[in-house]
Structure 1
Amino acid sequence: DPLKWTLKFKCWATAVYCLMILSTTYGSSSYAASAITVEREWGLSRPLATSGTSLWVLGFAVGPLLFGPTSEVVGRRPVYLVSFALLTIANIVACVAPDIEVLLAMRFIGGCMGSSALNNVAASISDMVRVRDRLRYLTMYRIVSFGGPTLGPLVGTFLNQASWRWNLAVLPFFSFATLVLYATTVPESHRVTIARKQLEQRQKEHEKEVEKLCEEGKMTRSTGDRSNRELGGPSLMQRYKTALSMPFVLLFTEPIVGIVCIYTALLYGLLYGIIAAFPLVWQDIRGRSPEYASTVFLTLLGGFCLGAGLIGCWLQDKSYKRQYDAGEVTPESRIGPATWASFFVPVGLFVFGWTAPYDRLVGSLDIHWAVPCIALVIFAFGMQVVFNSWLSYLGDAYAPVAASAMAAATFSRSLLGAAFPLFLRQWMLVWSVQIVFSILGGLSILLSFGGLLFVRYGPRIRAR
């Protein structure tokens, strides 16, 4: 039983899971540092060259629809092993791609395969950690989920100085190393799959016993067949059909799932949109070097770590355990910090939008570079707390189908994560940085009130 694993082994398993996520989220954005190089080498348009990032993230939307339900049918381990083996192969082919068509195809396949970890690790953690103690483990999972996209362009900028192929060559080594670690050290964690295998083993033993009794004339064949059927359950195909439809059922019929998916999708799209827009703001407008611009990603990483450490691992965890021990806990207990921290997101967006474009190189008004950097820390802090709160809430509210609920959330946010890098830069060129970030900040204000509504009306909505 994974719940009975030792604390030391649970920490090790969580570390392996986090490395698996990091290998795929890092890969999602590291290509962004090489997009201009690929554009120049093959004479491409800017949107086509940058679509390598979007296609990987689009794979994050497609993959969970397969891997989430499949993990609930056949277990977590087969899904991780097969998907990461294929991820490694896709990364190798991308490194030696002879043209843009092959490169983009491998980027999409890589995103699909890597999404198995991005979607299923939260469910794997839920398999082995009880509800009371789950938040700290999930917080680490979400740090690497957001830390990977911020580290990718930072490291990739320096690797790209050698070649864009050298930049992408890191990915197959990373994914293969995590595959070996998982395959050799972490067993199956899905308790339903473990129980099903035990049942199948008992059924095989029962069939042998029935066969023996039939041969001895102590039982008829018809009675034995009926006895075997009684031990069986739904067929594999029946279980798979039910599981495959579940993410869409939850997304389109459950208001809670729908609202959570919309807000987290906007934030996730903003993250990848900001990553794609950094060259415009820091290089084209402020005139800094690519290496200088890449270091600004550390501000996002700092905000994510601050939100995870201060709120997720301390304040939120302490508050939830106190309610749990008092017997007053509900899924809405997860949302508390998000009701106020979510407003950090629009503050960060407004401040960044109205300070980042102003530099002495492009006008008389000069705003120090530290101001938009602080705004990014504020945005990342709020984003981390919102994701930590709302996705934990989603997992608790829909615990029996947690992987499918997460698949619905991953699908929706990855669609915007794939779309934003394609059009956010063009929006800023046409409308200006200030107007675009003001619009996005206004949308995030409206969605920030969702947390307040869930705290007040969440139990009533779930009851319906």
Structure 2
Amino acid sequence: MCDSSSDSESTRHNLDPIALHDDNKSINSFNTFKTEQNNENLSLKITRTETKKSLHELGISSDIPHPDINNPPIPNPIFPEEYNLETSTGLVPVKTLESIGRTKSEPIKADIEFVTFTINDPENPHNWPMWLKWVYTFVISMFVISAAYGSSCLSGGLFTINEKYNVSTEVSTLTVSLMVLGFAVGPLIWAPLSEQIGRRPVYFISFGLYTIFNIPCALSPNIGGLLVCRFLCGVFSSSALTISGASLVDMHTDKTRGLSIAFFSFCPYSGPVIGGLVNGFISIGTKRLDIMIWVNMAFAGVMWILISLIPETYAPVILKRRAKKLRKETGNLNIMTEQEVTPQSFKEMVNECLVRPLKFVITEPVLDLVCAFVALIYALLYAFFFAYPYIFNKLYGYEDNKIGLMFIPILIGAGLAIVVTPIFEKKYATICKKRKPKPEDRLEAALIGAPMPCIALFILGATSYKHIIWVGPASAGIPFGFGMVLIYYSLNNYIIDTYAKFAASALATKVFLRSAGGAAFPLFITQMYEGLGLQWASWLLAFVSLAMMFVPFIFYKFGESARGKLCKEDYTV
């Protein structure tokens, strides 16, 4: 092998069984020639690799940038650009990286060559046609809605569970809470697995199991079986809520990423609303639990098929497969990705996915406050699924079908939020052009959205009287839906930017706390409204929302100094 660190083109002519060198020939990447010598057919494999000069031209220096959030978990990587860089040859030798000052505490074999995408590589998701990216974005968004729909689909007909299994509403409410609790457990499995085998296999396995486990839910002979299967449905379907956002980041570049994530922010919160709306009519029209579950299974099954048709989007897995193919074609076993060279150990995986997120709950008050606000909004959404039936049945005698219609204003509000989020994205892009952005720059949308849940709950309490037409309490859903999406969109970005070094762990903390809140609130909301009355129950939640409303304002004003004092280290770099 010739010296790959020289500024001249680095070429290798690998002749099996004899290695030959010819630096004077112009060659193309990965060309294979057949030659005949002494009446024997020998395979001549010629490979060109990147040089010190070509890496400098691509902007690669001795400074190792922080890995992107979607990079695989590699301890102290020396080439984090591997997964989003396009080179002319597709191979970057470790020797060349070392020649520009890239070093690692544990030395890597000098003859290892890292695989990258090539220029305008069709397998690079960033190079897919824009129309195709948005088609996939729509499918992924519907996929998320499908999982969220399933979490609340039984809330529109709890009486059918009560009648079938002869249980109280407190017990039937667990069918919702346990599935949401499964959302907290599932990410511990699917997130790390997607980093090893890819998004597509995880979607196929997990959502296939989710679709199948709707069958025992529909046919369960007792309430215990239903509750266990609902929890498992939450675990299996949580892959959609856990890694779908990452799939969008895999495909979209900075120009369209913000808009796609803004659109995606609508889905985890609108899905439960649609579930309550649709199944209210099913439960009243059929009075059968199994029909609600079969409809959910049909929705999940269609989305399972569609999501399985989307190609793999995770660059590390795409490159890992390419490296395997090149090793087979060239016989060079040193062609790898950095993830293959330094794989994450089981201990490191447990730390990344379980220990550190739980540790953050104890050690990071900044993250706790932000996640607490996100968890409150998510919990309030699920609280509405049990507060609305009580309010509208008591005031107007509505059954689940008409009560489901009362959720439409929440969807309207959420849709309005999608309309305004591009404004915040453009403003953030302008800031990035003028100066280096701070995590607090992400909070402007939350400043608008934060007061909305409080306003919504005060409206709900003030209009919960028999002499006021149903439009009054139903209209509370518009500001709630509007604020809900803006808060989630803004605070999610703030968490990523604030904890960039361990963004995956910080987001896991958020998912855990959010799901815990969503699972807990339904268990006491009905009793709270019975005990405090229609007005004061809503106003109590409004006062809690009022207190939490100041979180984004405080961090917007004092966030930089607060992070310096309260965070254990500067995670933004």
Q: TM-score range by the shorter chain?
A: 0.7 to 0.9
> For the residues of structure 2 that align with 1:193 and 1:459, how far apart are their CA atoms?
36
Deviations 1:138-182 (A, max 9, x none): 122121211111111111012122222111101222112111112
Question: Does the aligned pair in 1 maintain the 2:280–2:403 contact within 8 Å?
Answer: no
| Secondary structure in structure 1 of the residue aligned to 2:461 | helix
Match of 2:252 among 129, 133, 147: 129
Q: What code does the residue aligned with 2:297 have?
A: P
Q: Write the mapping of 1:191-206 to structure 2, written as runs, cut at 5 A.
A: 191-201=315-325
Counting helix residues as a fraction of each chain, which structure ranks higher?
Answer: 1
Matches within 5 A, 1:9-20: 9-20=132-143
Pairing of 1:9-408 with structure 2 (within 5 A): 9-160=132-283, 161-162=285-286, 163-184=288-309, 186-201=310-325, 208-209=331-332, 232-235=341-344, 237-245=346-354, 246-309=356-419, 311-313=420-422, 315-356=423-464, 358-359=465-466, 366-399=467-500, 401-408=502-509
Equivalent residue letter for 1:159: I
- 2:270 & 2:174 partners in 1: Cα distance? 21
Cα deviation code 1:53-97 (max 9, x no counterpart): 111111111111222233233332222111101001111221222
Note the alpha carbon deviations across 1:211-260, whole angstroms, 9 max, x for none: xxxxxxxxxxxxx9xx9999721355355334323432444333332222
Cα distance in 1 for residues equivalent to 2:292 and 2:469: 32
Compared CA separation, residues 197 and 255, structure 1 to 2 (3 A): farther
Structure 1: distance between partners of 2:364 and 2:243: 21
Q: 1:231 to 1:368 in 2, by over 3 A?
A: closer
Distance in 2, matches of 1:252 and 1:133, equals: 36
CA root-mean-square deviation: 2.5
Q: Please give the secondary structure, in 1, of the residue aligned with 2:220.
A: coil
Deviation at 1:431, TM superposition (A): 1.7
The alpha-carbon deviation at position 401 of structure 1 amounts to 4.6
| Aligned mates of 2:185, 2:147 — CA distance in 1 | 14
Could you list the runs of 5+ residues in structure 2 that have no partner in the other structure? Answer: 1-123
Identify if the C-alpha distance between structure 1 residues 230 and 54 changes in structure 2 by more than 3 Å, giving closer, same or farther.
closer
Residues of 1 paired with 2:521 and 2:137: CA distance?
31
**1:2 CA drift (Å):** 2.1
Q: Distance in 2 between matches of 1:117 and 1:102?
A: 24
Cα distance between partner residues in 1 of 2:378 and 2:337: 49
Measure, in 2, the Cα distance between the counterparts of 1:273 and 1:231. 46
Q: CA deviation at 1:114?
A: 0.9
2:387 is aligned with what amino acid? Answer: A
Output the CA distance in 1 between the equivalents of 2:483 and 2:338.
53
The answer to whether the 8 A contact 1:69-1:403 is kept is no
**Aligned-partner Cα distance in 1 for 2:240–2:179:** 14
Distance between the aligned counterparts of 1:175 and 1:146, measured in 2?
17
- Looking at structure 1, the residues matched to 558 and 192 of structure 2 have their Cα atoms a distance apart, in angstroms, of 29
Deviations along 1:279-321, whole A, 9 cap, x unmatched?
Answer: 1100123322332221101011111111221x213x2122122
How far did residue 432 of structure 1 move?
1.7
The structure whose Rg is larger is 2
Distance (Å, rounded) in 1 between the aligned partners of 2:324 and 2:350:
21
- Shift in Å, 1:199: 4.6
Point out the structure with the larger strand share: 2
- Paired letter, 2:369: I
In structure 1, how many angstroms separate the alpha carbons of the residues matched to 2:376 and 2:172?
24
1:452 corresponds to which of 543, 553, 563? 553
Secondary structure, aligned partner of 2:153: helix
Contact 1:348-1:379 within 8 A present in 2 as well: yes
Q: Normalised by the size of structure 2, how large is the TM-score?
A: 0.72
Identity %: 31
Aligned mate of 2:532, from 410, 431, 443: 431
| Counterpart residue type for residue 401 of structure 2 | E
SS in 1 for 2:444: coil
Distance 2:339 2:132 in 1: 37
Distance in 2 separating the partners of 1:7 and 1:420: 41
Give the Å deviation of 1:383: 1.4
1:209 offset after TM fit, Å?
4.4
Question: Partners of 1:407 and 1:230 in 2: how far apart?
Answer: 21
In the other structure, the counterpart of 2:93 is none
Render the CA deviation track for 1:329-356: whole Å, top value 9, x for unaligned.
Answer: 3332221121132112211111212222
Separation of aligned partners in 1, 2:478 and 2:430: 29
1:41 CA drift (Å): 2.1
**Separation in 1 of the partners of 2:521 and 2:553?**
27
